[in-house]
Amino acid sequence: MTYLLSIDQGTTSSRATIFTQAGEPIASAARGFTQHYPQPGWVEHDPEEIWESQLAALQETLAKADIPTSRIAAIGITNQRETTLVWERATGRALSRAIVWQDRRTAERTDLLKRDGVEPLVRERTGLLLDPYFSASKLGWLLDELPGLRERAQRGEICFGTVDSWLIFRLTAGRSHVTDLSNASRTLLFNIHTLSWDDDLLRLFDIPRAMLPEVLPNASRFGVTSAEIAGGEIAITGVAGDQQAALLGQGCLTSGMAKATFGTGAFVVMNCGEQGSCGEGVLTSIGWQLPGEKVQYALEGSIFIAGAAIEWLKEGLGIIAEAAEVEALAASVPDSGGVYLVPALTGLGTPYWDPHARGVIAGLTRGSGKAQLARAALEAIAFQTVDAIRAMEAASGVPLSELRVDGGATRNNLLLQMQADLLGAPVLRPRCTETTSLGAALMAGIGAGVIDRAAVAQSWALDRRFSPELDEGRREELCRGWKKAVRLSLGWERAPL
């Protein structure tokens, strides 16, 4: 038997897992790393800590599995997307902290571009919106703020990359400066129709082409690890951004199938086949390109704060000691008592796309307590997901029949029942909830030629189905209350006193 090694570099932790060709995990390890918040709205990571945490997780996983590297057919990489890094080509030395996808420091820059009327061009070329969420304005900020960086980048001395590129560069000892179609499609610099870096967009954001990675299809040969990393050379044959990897890991191979990943943020992604279509408030990205096939596109709804809202209850308010406690606390009351939490801690994503929105707690009464707030925090995740799905349904013209879910928060049964109730559609939890890691492994298996599409579909198995139990009238009432609370949040940072 041969195995597949998955590297899953996320926003708060770095994970490595070894899977069988049938998608069964046999060993896994994870490492957390530091979140830096130097100013309000700024979020940063240390690139070296990302690398060291990922390397430690990888080496612990190999030790747990206790199999020779010769039996590992390939490595697949998946990663937090949009997070922006720059490093020296000659040394591999990072030149600044990474600017994380959640970071909003470039909101004024993207607002200026909107006022210049260029968003229709950007949207047509990239499928995205002008928002600080994506990589281009973050990279522009680094080029402007780090002395001499732009000149060095123009000379080809500097590499830009998202986290996948950074890891591949380090894994291959600097031999490969590459990325894949899905990650490239989230930079605001890549034309998703011509499948190339776009000269007009590079000029718009003033980005030197010499610093960009080569873009490859998702199941390709991205490089080979140096022997010192894993005790032997292993080919890297699959790369995909975390949400695209989860879509594959959920077996959503045909148009109209959708999944939601509940992590730090929440991301709803629908396979929309070979035709990428834009809709109000939703994004179009490249899903993947497999050998011998055309590019598959995906509609996406992006929710910036999901599990992070629960972390805020723990770290910011101290009403729970561990995130796992939130389910029991929320279940101790029958409802939120009219309390709504809009967790716009870093603005709001789909369908509002308002970087100036801020968090709101509304509907408090003398009877409100920490249990009602805990329940409102869980409901906020579900409400935001409903908002994203309704926008995607409008864009695609296809009503959602079921939602497959994954990510750490799917262990919370109360959250998933809330989601089914507020969505009015079944929510399906698979046996393997680490579908992002699984998707990366499956992509690598396809790239290495050891599995095919049929094996991807067969790797998905149902754990539990959550069916709607809420009547339509109550569902509509709750959703109206949510919309009312959201209106209070929108534009808060700019609202007059």
Write the pLDDT tens digit of every residue in 484-496: 999 999 998 777 7
What's the CA gap between 355 and 490, in Å, rounded? 9
Q: Residue 178 has what pLDDT?
A: 98
| Residue 1 pLDDT | 78
Assign a CATH topology to domain 3-242: Nucleotidyltransferase; domain 5 (3.30.420)
Nearest to 216 by CA among 201, 234, 236, 232: 236
pLDDT at 472 over 90: yes
What residues does each domain of the chain span? 3-242
User: Using an 8 Å Cβ cutoff, are 441 and 233 in contact?
Assistant: no
Per-residue model confidence as pLDDT tens digits over 410-447:
999 999 999 999 999 999 999 887 888 999 999 999 99
Residue type, 460: W
What pLDDT shows up at residue 278?
A: 64
Q: What is the rounded distance in angstroms from the CA atom of residue 390 to the CA atom of residue 403?
A: 12
* Rounded CA separation 179/87 (Å): 15
pLDDT tens, residue by residue, 293-343: 999 999 988 898 999 999 999 999 999 999 889 999 999 999 999 999 999
Nearest 5°: phi and psi at 445? -65, -40
pTM: 0.84
Spatial distance between the Cα atoms of 15 and 61, rounded to a whole number of angstroms: 9
Higher pLDDT, 44 or 393: 44
User: CA-to-CA distance for 475 and 424, rounded, in angstroms?
Assistant: 8
One-letter identity of residue 109: R
For residue 427, give the nearest of 398, 471, 468, 380 by alpha carbon.
468
Contact (CB, 8 A) for 445 and 218? no
Give the pair of three-digit tokens for residue 10: 């996320």
When pLDDT is cut at 50, 70 and 90, the band that residue 277 belongs to is low
Mean per-residue pLDDT, 241-248: 93
> Among 145-154, 261-270, 358-367, which is the least confidently predicted range?
261-270
Predicted pLDDT at 416: 97
Is the per-residue pLDDT at 235 higher than 90? yes
Q: Which two tokens stand for residue 219?
A: 């199941």
246: three-class secondary structure by DSSP? helix
Structure confidence at residue 118 (pLDDT): 93
DSSP for 58-75 reads: HHHHHHHHT--GGGEEEE
Distance between CA atoms of residues 89 and 159, nearest Å: 6
Quick one: which H or E segment has residue 80? none
Q: Is 20 exposed, middle or buried (0-12, 13-18, 19+ CB in 10 A)?
A: middle
Q: How far is CA 328 from CA 129, 186, 292, 428, in A?
A: 39, 37, 49, 21
Is residue 156 classed as helix, strand or coil in its secondary structure? coil
Strands 283-288 and 266-271, by their bridges, are unpaired
With 90 as the cut, is the pLDDT of residue 453 above it? no
Tens-digit pLDDT profile for residues 343-384: 999 889 899 989 889 999 999 999 999 999 999 999 999 999
Q: How far apart are CA 100 and CA 383, in angstroms?
A: 25
The confidence band for 497, taking pLDDT boundaries of 50, 70 and 90, is low
